[in-house]
Structure 1
Amino acid sequence: MGGAVNRPDLAAELRRRTRSDQQARDHLTRTGEPGGLLRIDADNTAWLKAVVAEHGWPGRELVGDQGADDAWLLVQHADRDPGFQHEALELLTGAVEAADAPPRHLAYLTDRVLIARGRPQLYGTQYTGDDTSSLRPQPVHEPERLDERRAAMGLEPAAAYDERIRRAYGPATDKETTA
């Protein structure tokens, strides 16, 4: 999977933008200050929208495994453009069906879109902080079948994910948290 990268220029720009995204989020976690996060998210969203309009979903064939991961992360953080996230979800669904993107990307973005619409998530990937700043998963549809759905998407069991999220993020410093 992810052999030859057809657009190394796009892959490199995705990598650069993802590093910037992660630095801004690390800054927020360390300081509680958003810094330029909103501007970075808006710029990344506008750029990714243009890429998608020209090339379709930037999957493995176009940008390699790392580039596909980077594109997914940027769309996860495009929360201020839910219409684009929904469009990307449709394109990502096709990419996963064509083995051009990993199913885990689809699970995370599905949950992100559902939560934005006020609906329960399917895969338990989205967390929030409550009034006491402790992390908790957003509501889940049919929680008794959660691990079954997670396994079908190549995700670890919910309990293991929960432990990893709590170790990584500790008390919530932001309203929305995803790995």
Structure 2
Amino acid sequence: MNKYYLLIFLYLFISSCNSVHKISNSDRKNIISELNYIEAIDQKYAGIPPKDWIAKYGSDEAWKLFEDKRDSVGLDNQIRVKNLYNKYGYLGFEQVGEENSYKFWISIQHADNDVPFQKKILKVLEKEIKKNNAEKSHYALLEDRVATNKNKKQRFGTQLTYNESGQAIPKIGLSDSLNIDKLRLEYGLPTFKEYHNEMTIRHFEMNKEFFIKQGITEPKVFE
């Protein structure tokens, strides 16, 4: 193969690789419809079992059924997101807009059974942020998710567990508690105290009946 044909071959190869990022108007419409479904079903099973499930099955069985369904939905969403990524690349602001980019990212954030995929997208996100095509906060949240999924301390304190009083605390712990608010500010996150108090209040409201039975009548926020 002479130099001229080699150059043509390389051009066609590179063009075909880049074509995954080109989205037509009809493609965009279909992508957004898919993202709307992914986000809606993700949020449907992100909270607690519906009251009618608890009334019908009892609390323990309702939670088991709910968590099984959440796992099933999560796996299906991952397949959908991976198909979109393999076909179009990372769906950032330029490709689908800010709101729909969140819908693309959220199922990756929840793909805890596939940490290698989360790590792969984390590297991609770093590049997309430099192009102003993705949220810095999404990077922070996903980095912490990967860290805790690998049983490591987190930098941003975004992944939570709750103590016996219902207070939100960083899962596994922080790698640097002294500089955390400076880092959170850099990545567009609220202060550590603001975030943990907000999540403490949400956790209390979602589990209010349980806490009242324990003698806890209001969320115990950090002073």
Q: TM-score, normalised by structure 1?
A: 0.85
Amino-acid identity (%)? 25
Report which of the two structures shows the higher radius of gyration computed on alpha carbons: 2
Q: How far is the alpha carbon of 1:90 from its aligned partner?
A: 1.1
Q: How far is the alpha carbon of 1:148 from its aligned partner?
A: 0.6
Alignment of 1:10-159 (within 5 A): 10-28=31-49, 32=63, 33-130=66-163, 132=164, 134=166, 135-138=168-171, 139-159=173-193
Instruction: Find runs of 4+ consecutive structure 1 residues off by over 4 angstroms.
Output: none
CA distance in 2, matches of 1:57, 1:166: 33
Kept in 2: contact 1:125–1:137 (CA 8 A) = yes
CA distance in 2, matches of 1:75, 1:28: 23
Does the residue aligned with 1:7 lie in a helix, a strand or coil?
helix
Q: CA RMSD in A?
A: 2.1
Q: How far is the alpha carbon of 1:44 from its aligned partner?
A: 0.5
Q: How far is the alpha carbon of 1:12 from its aligned partner?
A: 2.1
Does the residue aligned with 1:136 lie in a helix, a strand or coil?
strand
Does the residue aligned with 1:123 lie in a helix, a strand or coil?
coil
Aligned pair count reads: 168
Structure 1 unaligned segments of length 5 or more: list them. 174-179
Letter in 1 for 2:43: Q
Bigger mean CA offset, 25-34 vs 12-21: 25-34
Kept in 1: contact 2:91–2:104 (CA 8 A) = yes
Describe the superposition over 1:24-75 as per-residue Cα deviations: whole angstroms up to 9, x where unpaired.
1234486533251111100001111111112111111111111111111111
Q: TM-score, normalised by structure 2?
A: 0.69
Bigger mean CA offset, 145-154 vs 66-75: 66-75
Q: Which has the higher contact order (CA 8 A, sep 6+)?
A: 1
Kept in 1: contact 2:136–2:188 (CA 8 A) = yes
